[in-house]
Structure 1
Amino acid sequence: MTDILIVDFVVVIFIFLRVFSAFIAAPIFGHNAIPIVIKISLSIVLSYIIFLTIDRSAFNVPVSLWSLTVYGAKEIITGLTMGFMLHFVFYGISYAGTLIGFDMGLVMAEMFNPMEETSNNVIGEAIYFASVIILFLINGHHYIIRGLVSSFDLIPLGKFTITNATLELLINYSAGVFVIAVKIASPILVSFFLIHIAEGITARAIPQMQIFFVTQPLKLGLGFVLLASITPIYIYVIKNLLKGYEDSLYNLIKAMSN
């Protein structure tokens, strides 16, 4: 009886390490504004629920302190990797807003992002917080929880391995930040590219005109008009990007299980 209790206790600890690591690495869940007591409490509750659902018969408890440390480190790395995955989507969305703000002439207009604890362009922050709202509206926070639960079926406790497929996926997802940014920012970037061409032609045709003083208010106003007009399209694109995160997370879990 005592041996069974020891095994169950060790299993719960390992499950907790993976769940808690995923929570603190994920955006929103890992924000400093959320008290650590709440994070730990949620992790304990979810860990116990997962403990009741997984098959523990095949798990062999490490007998040495070194083995316990290695198993614990593997669970922490697994959780951190899964939690950090969602950041790639938000980084791309925020960077798209930065590109738009740069073309609108709002390079120096920055605001503090409490989620990432960095300063960013105001347009980037507006799109970032809009995407956070969309994430909750589509129940995107459930993606991380479902991914955590399914990860214990594909990646048994202590069986995490770094494979070439895992590294390749992480590299592709990190490169996808720029793809996401271009997808979101391209309508406005193309519009401003045409304005820049018109600026160049006008500057050559009428060199006496202070072209930048004339076009700067135009670009600022046009930028806000374009943002307002294509907001429904942005919502649709961002919603699909966040929904695609669940498939990306599942592919990463499969890669880590090989």
Structure 2
Amino acid sequence: MNISFYVAEFSLIGARLLPFFISSGHGPFQRLPAMVRIVVLIILTLICCFLVQVPNSEVVKNYMLLSILNEFAVGVALFFLVQLPFVAIGFWGRVLDMQIGFGAAGVVDPANKSQEPLLGTIFVLAALAIFYLSGMHITLIKGILFSFERFPIGTEFYRLNLPNMASVMTVFLSVGMLVYIPVILLMWCLDLFMGFVSRTMPQMNIYFVMLPLKIAIGLFLLSIFSVYSEPVLTRLFKLVFFYWDSVFA
């Protein structure tokens, strides 16, 4: 039994999976506790070791460090696309927070040690629930296994057909905006009305009078239009696997 070969295989497969579990950004696994992520990473790597073949074993053994870095770079490219839906949802949630009046409020994320937008965090958690309930996590694992088939271990990183990242981020932000755009536009109209009132009645403190009303109207509108957000979120997740397929084309 060649122990060194199995260690090399485990290291290379784990290097490609590592960005999905160690990143502190947004993603389907980032809300899990650190110990749970480590256990899932080890189990998934072991499963992939039985299902994935490592070609060019001699080349891999001779350039082990470079091969690990190469697989890690491939994993980073794949994970970057996976987290884009959650980044888009969080970004427009922050915009809506400022629009409604929750700009000063926020939720402390202990994993990232940063302050996250209030409504953005709620929608990101809702997107995570839809991600798991719709079975997208199974599709993600199948996509990872598919990546080893389409882009075998040891294949150079530069062979990836990486799309224009600026255009990809624009697509995700544009689709993610559809979750919030009705409320944002209606709140903008309310801001115009508030500006008109403040000009016609300058003696009234418009901030303290209209802010509670603005928050109430914003939450009411959000409760109405959020019902239609599930197809948009599902579309965002499907875009991830569409771009994955183009990366390995």
Distance 1:63 1:134 in 2: 39
Distance 1:132 1:91 in 2: 12
Residue 48 of structure 2 is matched in structure 1 by 50
Residue 27 of structure 2 is matched in structure 1 by 27
Residue 18 of structure 1 is matched in structure 2 by 16
Aligned alpha-carbon RMSD (Å): 2.7
Give the SS at the match of 2:229.
helix
**Retained in 2: the 8 A contact 1:21–1:80?**
yes
Distance 2:37 2:59 in 1: 27
Distance 1:160 1:31 in 2: 31
Distance 1:164 1:28 in 2: 23
Letter of the 1:29 counterpart: F
Number of equivalent positions: 247
**1:93-126 deviation per Cα after TM superposition (whole angstroms, max 9, x unaligned):** 0111111111111111111124544212211111
Give the SS at the match of 2:127.
helix
Residue 69 of structure 2 is matched in structure 1 by 73
Residue 191 of structure 1 is matched in structure 2 by 186
- The answer as to 2:59 corresponding to 1:62 is yes
Deviation of 1:161 after TM superposition, in Å, equals 2.2
Distance 1:214 1:197 in 2: 15
Q: Which runs of 5+ in 1 are unaligned?
A: none
Residue 135 of structure 2 is matched in structure 1 by 139
Distance 1:115 1:239 in 2: 26
**Retained in 1: the 8 A contact 2:90–2:124?**
yes
Give the SS at the match of 1:214.
helix
Letter of the 2:93 counterpart: G
Deviation of 1:232 after TM superposition, in Å, equals 1.0
Identity %: 20
**1:63-107 deviation per Cα after TM superposition (whole angstroms, max 9, x unaligned):** 765x11111111111122222322211111011111111111111
**1:127-182 deviation per Cα after TM superposition (whole angstroms, max 9, x unaligned):** 111111111111222233112100111111121323684152x3333334532443
Deviation of 1:242 after TM superposition, in Å, equals 2.1
Quick one: which of 212, 215, 220 aligns to 2:215?
Answer: 220
TM-aligned CA distance change 1:114 to 1:90, over 3 Å: farther
TM-aligned CA distance change 1:181 to 1:159, over 3 Å: same
**Retained in 1: the 8 A contact 2:176–2:232?**
no
Quick one: which of 59, 83, 86 aligns to 2:82?
Answer: 86
Residue 123 of structure 1 is matched in structure 2 by 119
Residue 169 of structure 2 is matched in structure 1 by 174
TM-aligned CA distance change 1:32 to 1:238, over 3 Å: closer
Distance 1:202 1:158 in 2: 66
Letter of the 2:192 counterpart: I
Distance 2:60 2:103 in 1: 57
Distance 1:60 1:8 in 2: 10
After alignment, is 224-233 or 242-251 more displaced? 242-251
**Retained in 1: the 8 A contact 2:71–2:154?**
yes
Distance 1:6 1:74 in 2: 19
Distance 1:13 1:203 in 2: 64
Letter of the 2:232 counterpart: V
Letter of the 2:43 counterpart: V
**Retained in 2: the 8 A contact 1:10–1:61?**
no
Deviation of 1:201 after TM superposition, in Å, equals 2.7
Letter of the 2:208 counterpart: F
Residue 197 of structure 2 is matched in structure 1 by 202
After alignment, is 90-99 or 38-47 more displaced? 38-47
Give the SS at the match of 1:195.
helix
TM-aligned CA distance change 1:171 to 1:143, over 3 Å: farther
Distance 2:11 2:61 in 1: 16
